[in-house]
Amino acid sequence: MARRIAVIAGATRGIGFALTRALARAWDADDRVYLTARRPADGQAAVDRLAADGLAVGWLPFDLADPASPGRLAAVLGERHGGVDVALLNGAYIPRPAGRRPMMRGR
Ligand SMILES: NC(=O)c1ccc[n+]([C@@H]2O[C@H](COP(=O)([O-])OP(=O)(O)OC[C@H]3O[C@@H](n4cnc5c(N)ncnc54)[C@H](OP(=O)(O)O)[C@@H]3O)[C@@H](O)[C@H]2O)c1
């Protein structure tokens, strides 16, 4: 089977991390799985945890709060692999309109 490329955005912990682990386990050694992180230390820590389980996963920077970030991520994957076969957007970001006050106290 041809080499497959996947990226799971928002996968340093929680559901995204579990999805990354499951996909890396299910795919073949010549397939490539990436997780994304906003901070290098968090990306590297997640990759190290997976490596301790014998899973080779890479990490790439990605922040939904930065409008240029999706394009940069796509460009890196395009340059390295010519595209991506599976893209999962797990992390969520809800921009708060300028001047709007939170509806709930303490948030
Ligand atoms: N867990 C549940 O029971 C549940 C239920 C319903 C819906 N959800 C939704 O499912 C998603 C994942 O849940 P979870 O429990 O796995 O969340 P989580 O443990 O808080 O993990 C969130 C992930 O999203 C990333 N992230 C946060 N802000 C980001 C941004 N601006 N740009 C890119 N990545 C960002 C975080 O990475 P960093 O290291 O960069 O912070 C982290 O890897 C969320 O959208 C959540 O609202 C969860």
Atom 34 of ligand 1 has which residue's CA nearest to it? 10
Beta bridge partners of 86: 6
Enter the pTM of the model: 0.89
Instruction: Tell me the average pLDDT across 64-91.
Output: 95
- What pLDDT sits at residue 41? 98
Cα angle: 29, vertex 88, 6; to 5 degrees: 25
Atom 17 of ligand 1 has which residue's CA nearest to it? 14
Domain residue spans of the chain: 5-89
User: How many angstroms does the Cα of residue 10 sit away from the middle of ligand 1?
Assistant: 6
pLDDT tens-digit readout, 33-51: 999 999 999 999 999 999 9
User: How many angstroms does the Cα of residue 90 sit away from the middle of ligand 1?
Assistant: 6
Band of residue 59 on the pLDDT scale cut at 50, 70, 90: very high
CATH of segment(s) 5-89: 3.40.50.720
Secondary element (H or E) of residue 53: none
User: How many angstroms does the Cα of residue 2 sit away from the middle of ligand 1?
Assistant: 31
Q: Strand ranges (DSSP E) for 1-107?
A: 5-9, 32-37, 57-61, 86-89
